[in-house]
Amino acid sequence: MSTSPSPADPRQPPPSAGPATDRLAVVAAGGQVEPEVHERVRQTPAVLEIDRFNLWYGTKQALHSITMPIPHGKVTALIGPSGCGKSTLLRSVNRLNDLVPSVRITGEMRLNGDPIYDQRMDVIELRKRMGMVFQRPNPFPMSIYENVVYALRIDGESKRIVLDEVCERSLRGAALWDEVKDRLGESALGLSGGQQQRLCIARAIAAEPEVLLLDEPCSALDPIATGKVEDLIQELRGLYSVLIVTHNMQQASRSSDYTAFMYLGRLIEYGPTTDIFTKPVLRETEAYVTGRFG
């Protein structure tokens, strides 16, 4: 890993000096660059470890040797321009890319120490240990109540008292309880877009996942609904380990503890969100977060 240039050394160019193209040019030419991973990320215990992970769609390599720990109990945001591989990385975590026939991978991912891509890993069991929420809310065509307890039902739980308790706890956890508690029996499809998305989060946390994966969860929502989902993500901090992909830089800065900047399938810089948005080590990151490219 490269170290940050010492601010005490006046010979080092400051982060904002010069055009921000060096590393990006190397990457654009197909080369590999050493990512800048801040010390504080490495010091935090990881729930998920991504270890020299490569992924190809056919002959096109979409992820290049990604190595990053995802801290336990924190919100980690993946940012980067379109096509940088952030969604691909997220979908690799719960092996959704297994469904794409041309995908080939090398490297490892471990969920609390268990190798995700091990042949003995049961993918259904794996996905039970992770919740996933997509760009567009996808409630099941059933009641609000049944949506939330769906995972428990298919796991064979039928005790009303257990289901009721999980339903209330999850809806409270997703900041939706007060809005729907009097109409739990109504169809989930009657909820607004923002409510549907929070319902999907409630459904995901009902199974008490080890990691919650959010793939641009607000991109189909209006600003008010977005605000509510962002508030919710803030409240999930500490309770769940969240990995979120977002196009919206302000969303990353507002709702995450750690931010990873990716470019053309490479991890470029990864650090505490406050550092990435106030004093990133690399000028390439600075150029991206200040909107100079991307």
Partner 1 sequence: MTRHIDRQIGNLKEKIRRVGTVVEEAISKSISAVINRDVQLAQRVLANDEAIDRMEVEVEEECLKILALYQPVAADLRFVVAVLKINNDLERMGDLAKNIAKRVAQLEGAGPVDLPPEIRTMAMQAEEMVRECLAAVIDGDPVLARRIREQDDVVDEARQKVRRRILAGIKEHPENVEVLLRINSITKHIERIADMATNVAEDVIYMVEGDIVRHRPEE
Residues in contact with partner 1 by CB under 8 A are 7-8, 10, 14-17, 249-250, 253, 277-280, 285-286, 289-293
Identity of the residue, 185 or 291, whose beta carbon is nearer to partner 1 in the bound complex: 291
Identity of the residue, 10 or 223, whose beta carbon is nearer to partner 1 in the bound complex: 10
User: Least distance in Å: CB of 77 to partner 1?
Assistant: 14
Identity of the residue, 2 or 102, whose beta carbon is nearer to partner 1 in the bound complex: 2
User: Least distance in Å: CB of 244 to partner 1?
Assistant: 18
CA dist., res. 199 & res. 182, Å (int) = 15
Residue type at position 115? P
User: Least distance in Å: CB of 133 to partner 1?
Assistant: 26
User: Least distance in Å: CB of 10 to partner 1?
Assistant: 5
Instruction: List the end-to-end C-alpha distance of the chain, in Å, as a whole number.
Output: 25
Contacts of residue 34, Cβ cutoff 8 Å, sequence gap at least 6: 1, 2
Q: Please give the structure tokens belonging to residue 226.
A: 């977005």
User: Least distance in Å: CB of 250 to partner 1?
Assistant: 7
User: Least distance in Å: CB of 281 to partner 1?
Assistant: 9
Identity of the residue, 97 or 259, whose beta carbon is nearer to partner 1 in the bound complex: 259
- Pairing state between β 46-57 and 103-111: antiparallel
Identity of the residue, 20 or 130, whose beta carbon is nearer to partner 1 in the bound complex: 20
- Pairing state between β 75-79 and 103-111: unpaired
Sign of the torsion angle spanned by Cα atoms 210, 116, 133, 246: positive
User: Least distance in Å: CB of 18 to partner 1?
Assistant: 12
